[in-house]
Amino acid sequence: MSNNLNSNANDLQSYWMPFTANRQFKSSPRMLVSAKGMYYKTGDGREVLDGSAGMWCVNAGHGSEPIIAAIREQAGQMDYATAFQMGHPKAFELANRLTSLLPKDLEHVFFANSGSEAVDTALKIALAYHRACGEGSRTKFIGRERGYHGVGFGGTAIGGIPNNRKQFGNMLSGVDHLPHTHNIKKNAFSRGQPKWGALLAEDLERLVALHDASNIAAVIVEPMAGSTGVLVPPVNYLNRLRDICDRHGILLIFDEVITGFGRTGAAFGAEKFSVQPDLMTMAKGLTNGAVPMSAVATTAKIYNAMMDGPTDLIEFFHGYTYSAHPLACAAAIATLNVYKNEGLFERAAELEHYWEEAVHSLKDLEKIIDIRNIGLVAGIELAPSKNKNNSIGYNCFLRCFEEGLLLRQTGNTMALSPPLIIQKNEIDRIVGILRDVIDHLE
Ligand code: PLP
């Protein structure tokens, strides 16, 4: 593709791009240079409909004026405040705003800067909590196959994506995995939560028997696995995990980095699926993607167990230079205001049916072997290409981009998660482009 930022190919070499086929990209770059509302603009001046809310984060659409104004104002007032042994008002305001939005038992919030950091923080809180309760032997974690929890050593180890793990040796030890819940034979073309699969949660009992509950700190799952292709939890699956954790004194961590902030048609996945975690990670939609920020919410029980010993002693030896960064706090408060003032979580719930009908209208295409949806999310899984050297998913992603639609591709699944401001005619446009592209894929 021609583009005016590619006048000198050498310009592209210094930047080692994340989760990107660097050589392929640099031989044929795809540059985004501006964004507003539902659309990006490319280096060669094309408009591209954002079908993935950036990377599951721009829930209020791009360039939201109140968020930009809040960041500008905060930068002028105080650019940075040290986060250790000092505070600033917006950090406390944001924590209070979040706790009033979160499921009722989550009463305290720890700030970090990315989903990966939030996950590592949640794992550390789980370990420190058990130790504070006199159960220091609880050090093992249970993740899930096809889970994605970021790229720290902890998150990589508890995650269940083979490609993300295989280059990095042992990582965190003492980790085991539940089976994933994806089963096309049983659940293909389910609308919303699949009916089959709750029994997969019982595998946790097997792992408890194997490792003994006295050694297990926490189970961590995404309420809906996003990054490995939109795996919606089967009916009753999450409740069963909750029950088994309760029976054995194991903490349940929901990684809501994707499912938070309206994505599923409720404020959080915990609310959508009516299951209460002990710890919850958030990021992405927290600031509408405008400034990096993440958070971990905990119950009062966990927080209070840690508030022990002499009052002038640091209770939790953990934190980041940029924890509760003033610009991030200002962006997050403004973002929460936008979500509320524009009724975006309600809007996602209202559009859910239209969205579901629209994406499932593609069912007749023979290259599609499954369509999954919840809230304003959909996964469209394509049959693998007969030619092993040809990635049908990647080709679909590229063709959609050329046709003016940006989506996420993971393996053969096309993941869609548009900003919650999307209009019905834009939903139709997404589906129209997909129909045309998928129909012509080889
Ligand atoms: N957890 C989940 C569920 C995610 O989807 C992601 C990113 O997509 C992460 C953690 C990691 O977030 P980050 O890329 O901000 O480190």
Residues 6+ apart with CB under 8 A from 236: 198
Integer-rounded Cα radius of gyration of the chain: 22
pLDDT tops 60 at residue 9: no
Strands annotated E in 145-181: 175-178
Nearest CA to ligand 1 atom 7: 150
Task: Give the separation between CA 38 and CA 363, rounded to whole angstroms.
Answer: 25
The predicted model gives 395-402 an average pLDDT of: 97
Find, among 176, 188, 267, the residue nearest to 215 by Cα. Answer: 176
Listing from the earlier edge strand, what are the strands of the sheet with 47-50? 32-36, 39-42, 47-50, 405-406
Q: What is the dihedral of CA 162, 165, 171, 174, to 10 degrees?
A: -10
CATH among 3.40.640.10, 3.40.190.10, 3.40.50.2020, 1.20.140.10 for 67-341? 3.40.640.10
Taking only the tens place, the pLDDT of each residue in 176-208 is 999 999 999 999 999 999 999 999 999 999 999
pLDDT tops 60 at residue 131: yes
pLDDT tops 80 at residue 5: no
What proportion of the chain, given as a percentage, has pLDDT over 70?
Answer: 98
Q: Does domain 22-64+343-439 have CATH number 3.90.1150.10?
A: yes
Query: Is residue 256 lining ligand 1, measured as CB closer than 6 Å?
Result: no
Q: How far is the CA of 387 from the centre of ligand 1 (A)?
A: 32
Tell me which amino acid residue 91 is. Answer: A
Task: Give the separation between CA 243 and CA 252, rounded to whole angstroms.
Answer: 10
Residues 411, 51 contacting (CB under 8 angstroms): no
Check residue 10 and give its pLDDT.
58
Q: How far is the CA of 365 from the centre of ligand 1 (A)?
A: 31
Nearest CA to ligand 1 atom 13: 115
Taking only the tens place, the pLDDT of each residue in 94-116 is 999 999 999 999 999 999 999 99
Query: Is residue 292 lining ligand 1, measured as CB closer than 6 Å?
Result: no
Tell me which amino acid residue 68 is. Answer: I
- How many H-runs (helices) and E-runs (strands) does the chain carry? 16, 15
Tell me which amino acid residue 418 is. Answer: P
Task: Give the separation between CA 107 and CA 84, rounded to whole angstroms.
Answer: 21
CA 222 to ligand 1: nearest atom: 3
Residue 252 in tokens: 């349940």
Q: How far is the CA of 153 from the centre of ligand 1 (A)?
A: 13
What proportion of the chain, given as a percentage, has pLDDT over 90?
Answer: 95
Check residue 385 and give its pLDDT.
86
CA 294 to ligand 1: nearest atom: 15
Q: Give, rounded to a whole angstrom, the gap between the first and last alpha carbons of the chain.
A: 21
Check residue 386 and give its pLDDT.
82
The predicted model gives 395-406 an average pLDDT of: 97
pLDDT band at 428; cut points 50, 70, 90: very high
Taking only the tens place, the pLDDT of each residue in 335-357 is 999 999 999 999 999 999 999 99
Check residue 4 and give its pLDDT.
56
Task: Give the separation between CA 410 and CA 436, rounded to whole angstroms.
Answer: 20
Check residue 388 and give its pLDDT.
77
pLDDT tops 60 at residue 6: no
Helix (H, G, I), strand (E, B) or coil at 302: helix
- Residue 50's DSSP bridge partners are 406
Query: Range(s) for CATH 3.40.640.10 in the chain?
Result: 67-341
Taking only the tens place, the pLDDT of each residue in 201-243 is 999 999 999 999 999 999 999 999 999 999 999 999 999 999 9
Residue 274 in tokens: 């009516």
Listing from the earlier edge strand, what are the strands of the sheet with 408-410? 368-374, 377-382, 413-416, 408-410
SS (H, E, C) 385-434: CCCCCCCHHHHHHHHHHHCCEECEEECCEEEECCCCCCCHHHHHHHHHHH
Residues 294, 282 contacting (CB under 8 angstroms): yes
Query: Is residue 150 lining ligand 1, measured as CB closer than 6 Å?
Result: yes
pLDDT band at 2; cut points 50, 70, 90: very low
Residues 232, 374 contacting (CB under 8 angstroms): yes
Phi and psi, residue 6, nearest 5°: -115, 30
H runs (alpha helix) in 63-161: 65-77, 89-101, 115-132, 153-158
Which of the pair, 59 or 1, is modelled with greater confidence? 59
Query: Range(s) for CATH 3.90.1150.10 in the chain?
Result: 22-64+343-439
pLDDT tops 60 at residue 7: no
pLDDT tops 90 at residue 1: no
CA 150 to ligand 1: nearest atom: 11
Taking only the tens place, the pLDDT of each residue in 298-336 is 999 999 999 999 999 999 999 999 999 999 999 999 999
Residue 91 in tokens: 């950090």
Query: Is residue 48 lining ligand 1, measured as CB closer than 6 Å?
Result: no
Mean pLDDT rounded to a whole number for the chain: 96
Find, among 262, 194, 206, the residue nearest to 230 by Cα. Answer: 194
